[in-house]
Amino acid sequence: MNISEHTTNLRKYMEFRKYSPQSISNYCSAFTSFLAFFEKRGVQHPDKITSNMVIEFLGQFKEPATHSGYHSAIKVYYEKVAHTGIEKFKYIERPKRNKKLPIVLSVEEIQRMFDVCHNLKHKAIFALLYSCGLRVSEVINLKWSHIDRSRGVINILAAKGNKDRQVPINDQLLTMMENYWREFRTKDYVFAGQCSEQYSTESILQVIKQLAAKANIKKRVYTHLIRHCSFTHLVENGTDINIIQKLAGHSNVKTTHIYTHISHNLISKIQSPLTQINLCAKKKNKKSRLSPTGFIAKSAEKNSGQRRSMPPPAR
């Protein structure tokens, strides 16, 4: 099987349709692994791979996100490149997504991370992630020309889904970015690597993890969590959910509603039905049990009283 030829055809289609470079890389990598899997089994052409064989391949991935990623890559090739995917994918469904809610950091924990950050470059990256709710890919692709100082906004171009959007930049953050530029003098991209024009996602992840460790935060902290924290704290401050949707770049407001589910302020206002129950109610006093000796004495006293109350016999 000529794997590189089929993968190249997929790449050309995706480039023609203006998919993002990250999506092209992910899809082509997944499709290459898919073809290599069946090449080891003696399959000579992608057209020879049946629906049941695709299901078997996808079944080895336990994580829904991984399963779905491979599903998308394979489906794009068969439907858009080979034009045989309508029947092949007719009965192949996507896995159900895990409905896990992220465990976000409190404002106090975010403050602690800023307090232990003494590197200006690291602080600027962290501030952008938190203040603007940027994705890590948007941070590393940010250019100086994208920052409109006169209007106080950052233009996020060709982000996820190839969509553009604008996010406000705080005066405090703008001052920090100006100080950062004076010290580092980067040319095109705002954050440059030591040996490359752009900073890497792995480097940013290490920065965030190190700050969390220094701040003695025991929760699992990762780069995308800072974005979750940003929008959750906006919800808690009363920002309209539709405005947050625009800032986040979500196509559907249902995606944004996740931040209402993890907002501490909203959850803390919920009144538990247990508040209607008195857990400290006094127990009713039970009659104390008498010992056999006490019972006999009590009975004798009672009987004696009864005899004294009887009238004398008639003469």
Q: Are 57 and 88 in contact (CB under 8 A)?
A: no
Name the catalytic one among 112, 227, 228, 233: 227
What pLDDT is attached to residue 47?
A: 87
Question: Tokens for 28?
Answer: 């082509």
**151 is an active site residue:** no
**Is 1.10.150.130 the CATH number for 3-88?**
yes
Rounded-to-integer distance, Cα 27 and Cα 73, Å: 5
DSSP string, 84-95: -HHHHTTT-PPP
The single residue of 160, 209, 246, 257 carrying the catalytic annotation is 160
Does 107-268 carry CATH code 3.40.50.720?
Answer: no
Nearest CA-CA partner of 128 in 191, 221, 67: 191
Q: Yes or no: say if 138 and 159 are a contact pair by the CB < 8 Å rule.
A: yes
Domain residue ranges of the chain, discontinuous segments joined by +? 3-88, 107-268
User: Which residue is catalytic, options 67, 112, 233, 250?
Assistant: 250
Of 48, 151, 163, 224, catalytic: 224
Q: Which of 135, 189, 199, 228 is catalytic?
A: 135
196-220 exposure pattern, b = at least 16 Cβ within 10 A, e = fewer: eebbeeebbeebbebbbeebebeee
Going from the first residue of the chain to its last (315 residues), give the mean pLDDT of each consecutive group of 10, the final group possibly shorter: 89 90 90 92 88 89 88 91 76 74 89 95 94 92 93 88 87 93 92 87 94 95 93 89 89 84 68 70 56 49 50 50
Answer yes or no: 224 catalytic. Answer: yes
Query: What gap in Å lies between CA 271 and CA 56, rounded to an integer?
Result: 48
